[in-house]
Structure 1
Amino acid sequence: MANSKVSELLGDKAEYLLDYSSPAIDKSTLHLPGPDHLDRVWKESNRSNRVLGSMQQLLGHGRLANTGYCNIFPVDQGIEHSAGASFAINPIYFDPENIIKLAIEAGCNAVASTYGVLGIMSRKYAHKIPFIVKINHNEFLSLPNTYDQTLFGSVKDAWNMGAVGIGATIYWGSAESRKQLKEISEAFEYAHELGMLTILWCYTRNNGFKVDGVDYHTSADLTGQANHLGVTIQADIIKQKLPTNNGGYLATKHGKTSPLVYSKLTTDHPIDLCRYQVLNCYAGRVGLINSGGESKGASDMADAVATAVINKRAGGMGLILGRKAFQRPMNEGVEMLGKIMDVYTDEGITIA
């Protein structure tokens, strides 16, 4: 039985999400998160002792320490979304120190942000909370806007500031995706050489993924394949948006898939759609963390908790939520992150 506060926040979705018990993919086929995650999953891999040490720093820090789950606080906004669009609602976060303070006060496993944010505070905080440096970004100051990711610094600089890992985005499906693939696969290789872990923001981006007024950028089948490409370049954790529909391949009529994806491996239940994402992360060997999405105001707390429940019950590793937390007073942001972690520490919320 889930915590009553979680059920209350879920409202009329509580039974639908908490009692679901007939997933299309059985949990026995997955490598699920747990306290022994590193020993059970990574001991046979090519990851070095240094990389495993960085993973342990991440998974051994904060309120979720040594559970196998993680809650990362990401603030890479200010670049693509612009600083004004991101922080005008709460100007204290123009100051990088407040970003890190929020992550520490909430008990997050790590803080993920830009070279500038983490670099300017690294001597004060790199030993107090694991740093994840986001190494590439899109930017919308160029006119006309483009949809590309550009390296903003070097992997060595992230290592020098004491980061335990790097994060990067690839826009799978975009015209520039193969350039990004080459850049980021090389960056991940070097990060592993230096002993850092790697997290891939594994997003789809192509106007052709919108068909007849339906947006398939977050379809389970397309995001699942994006995940599979991400683990192929040896991302240690995949960050992905929660799936909102399915049938992207069927709508776009490009690429290849199997009808079994839709008849045997998925249903329309959100836990099944997310589990297909987990399946594509080498059956859960590589952890899936779902993003919290944009802030919508009053519904943010309930939306965040629902996302955490779906991710956990699907077999995911955790959440990476930023805007919903920092676009409100700090005490409310801390409370929201705490509610998310309540889901992962709640033994009554089990894997479906």
Structure 2
Amino acid sequence: MSYNKIVELLGDKASFLLDHQCKTIDKASLHHPGADFVDRIVALSNRSPQVMKNMQCLLGHGRLKDTGYLSILPVDQGIEHTAGASFAPNPIYFDPENIVKLALEGGANAVASTFGVLAACSRKYAHKIPFIVKLNHNELLTYPNKYDQIMFGSVDEAWNLGATAVGATIYFGSEESNRQLVEVAQAFERAHELGLVTVLWCYLRNNGFNKDGIDYHAAADLTSQANHLGVTIQADIIKQKLPENNGGFKAIGFGKTSEKVYTQLTTNHPIDLTRYQVAGCYMGRSGLINSGGASSGESDLAEAVATAVVNKRAGGMGLISGRKAFQKSMGEGITLLNAIQDVYLEKKITLA
């Protein structure tokens, strides 16, 4: 996809997103993605040579090979949102092999999915595309729903089926978050012992985060703090929703913050809000990948491109987009994944 096509898809948002200059946290402060990310950042940490090798494996696969950016296909929604809700739009994805095929043919760096999906075809594909095995899930068959993340398998089991990395979710703010934090920290310690990369879905979950009709679950200040908790337990990559607003701490009236977060370190611009999320990831020492969100239909392509532009210009490491890709024909899904990748391949789109 050409730069002109990207501009066309952005429409009236093109100048707003492509010409923005960040005057909050300077780009010189960031540990930005790049072909040398493992040598420049990971090698200076406590990560073992095996973790370094697997991180390089993630960064060295697919159409974004050796750019320092990631395009990941995540398909755990069969548990997180029920299989019917997820796969009814295109029933071929009830078959796990088609999930892996979409990631492979779509030029993704990796496929992130469940134990069952990846184990079902591990001998055929584990050496062809990196696997990110999701360790825990929120299953929606319990009634009433509990909205809790529970372990579905072990790190050792993920390693045995050929994983390059493991993923997990913590619902920060939930009643169960303390238990989840301990479980995931222990799992990530074991993963690093085995040489696996760790990816944390840093999501918020608390009814109290809705205040005066405004949902702050994707507020920049709250999500950045969730990211900061995630890197504290040594997540190598942080998955986070793109920020939708700011001022969660102030609106809800809990925790501690600083007025400078809102007057100096952020503005209302989505790139500046996302840069604050990057700041929560140790200024990019752990890569920030933003989620692609739900499928909206015909607007999916434009939305995915806009999200990729925001993430890249903010200093993020890439995009992890699932429903927008697999809830349509495989050809359309490949086109969407390629469009996301083209944003990161386009040299005219730079750090703000």
TM normalised by structure 1 equals 0.99
Sequence identity, in percent?
68
- What is the identity, as a one-letter code, of the residue corresponding to 2:173? G
Paired position in structure 1 for 2:350: 350
Per the TM alignment, residue 80 of structure 1 is displaced from its structure 2 partner at its CA by 2.0
Alignment of 1:221 with 2:229, yes or no, is no
Q: Give the partner amino acid of 1:233.
A: I
Distance in 2, matches of 1:231 and 1:272, equals: 20
1:204 paired to 2:204: yes
Q: Deviations over 1:75-107 (max 9, x none)?
A: 011112000000011000000000000000011
The letter of the residue matching 2:45 is S
Matched, 1:316 2:304: no
Aligned residue type for 1:192: H
* Alignment-mate amino acid for residue 316 of structure 2: G
SS at match of 1:146: coil
The SS at the match of 2:79 is coil
Aligned counterpart, 1:41: 41
Shift of 1:264: 0.4
8 A contact 2:75–2:112 mirrored in 1: yes
Residue 3 (1) aligns with residue 7 (2)? no
Give RMSD over aligned pairs: 0.6
Superimposed CA distance per residue, residues 35-72 of structure 1 (whole angstroms, 9 cap, x where no aligned partner): 10011111111000000011011000111011000101
Retained in 1: the 8 A contact 2:22–2:271?
Answer: no
In the alignment, structure 1 residue 299 sits paired with structure 2 residue 299: yes
- Paired residues of 1:65 and 1:109 also in contact (CA < 8 A): yes
Q: Residues 271-282 of structure 1 correspond to what in structure 2 (within 5 A)?
A: 271-282=271-282
CA contact (8 A) 1:23 1:271 kept: no
Aligned to 2:95: 95
Distance 2:30 2:262 in 1: 19
Cα separation, 1, equivalents of 2:23 and 2:82: 40
Deviation at 1:23, TM superposition (A): 3.1
The residue type paired with residue 196 of structure 2 is: M
Tell me the distance in 2 between the aligned counterparts of 1:245 and 1:48: 38
Separation in structure 2 between the aligned mates of residue 45 and residue 205 of structure 1, nearest angstrom: 31
3-state SS of paired residue (1:289) = strand
1:188/1:198 contact within 8 Å kept:
yes
> In structure 2, what is the Cα distance between the partners aligned to 1:216 and 1:84?
28
Compute the displacement of 1:156 (Å). 0.4
CA contact (8 A) 1:111 1:129 kept: yes
Match of 1:102, as an amino acid?
A: L
**Higher deviation after alignment, 88-97 or 15-24:** 15-24
Query: Structure 2 CA distance, aligned partners of 1:22 and 1:70?
Result: 23
State whether structure 2 residue 170 is matched by structure 1 residue 170: yes
One-letter identity of the residue aligned with 2:125: Y
Deviations 1:296-316 (A, max 9, x none): 111111100000000000000
Q: Is residue 243 of structure 1 aligned with residue 280 of structure 2?
A: no
Q: Matched residue of 1:78: which SS?
A: helix
How far does residue 214 in structure 1 lie from its aligned partner after superposition? 0.1
Aligned to 1:148: 148
- Is this contact kept in 2: 1:305–1:340, CA < 8 A? yes
Structure 1 Cα separation of the partners of residues 229 and 347 of structure 2: 33
After the TM superposition, list the runs of 4 or more consecutive aligned residues in structure 1 that deviate by more than 6 angstroms: none
Corresponding letter in the other structure for 2:67:
T
| Aligned equivalents of 2:194, 2:44: Cα separation in 1 | 19
Residue type matched to 2:261 in 1? V
Secondary structure in 2 matching 1:46: coil
Q: How does 1:94-173 map to 2 (within 5 A)?
A: 94-173=94-173
Report if aligned partners of 1:199, 1:239 keep a CA contact under 8 Å in 2: yes
Aligned ranges 1:77-88 → 2 under 5 Å: 77-88=77-88
What does residue range 333-348 of structure 1 map to in structure 2 within 5 Å? 333-348=333-348
Per-residue Cα deviation, 1:254-300 (whole angstroms, up to 9, x for no partner) = 00010000000000000000000001100111100000000011111
Contact 2:170/2:203 (<8 A) preserved? yes
Deviation at 1:21, TM superposition (A): 1.4
Hey, what's the Cα distance between the residues in 1 that align with 2:77 and 2:144?
A: 20
Listed as ranges, the gaps of 5+ residues in structure 2 are none
One-letter amino acid of the structure 1 residue matched with residue 153 of structure 2: G
**In 1, are the aligned partners of 2:200 and 2:239 still within 8 Å (CA)?**
yes
Q: Which amino acid aligns with 1:43?
A: A
Q: Alignment length, in residue pairs?
A: 351
CA deviation after TM superposition for structure 1 residue 147, in Å: 1.2
1:57 corresponds to which letter in structure 2? Answer: C
Aligned equivalents of 1:163 and 1:226: distance in 2? Answer: 25
Using the alignment, how far apart are the partners of 2:174 and 2:93 within structure 1? 31
Whichever residue aligns with residue 157 of structure 2, its letter is D
Within a 5 Å distance, the mapping from 1:323-334 to structure 2 comes to: 323-334=323-334
Question: What is the TM-score of this pair, normalised by structure 2?
Answer: 0.99
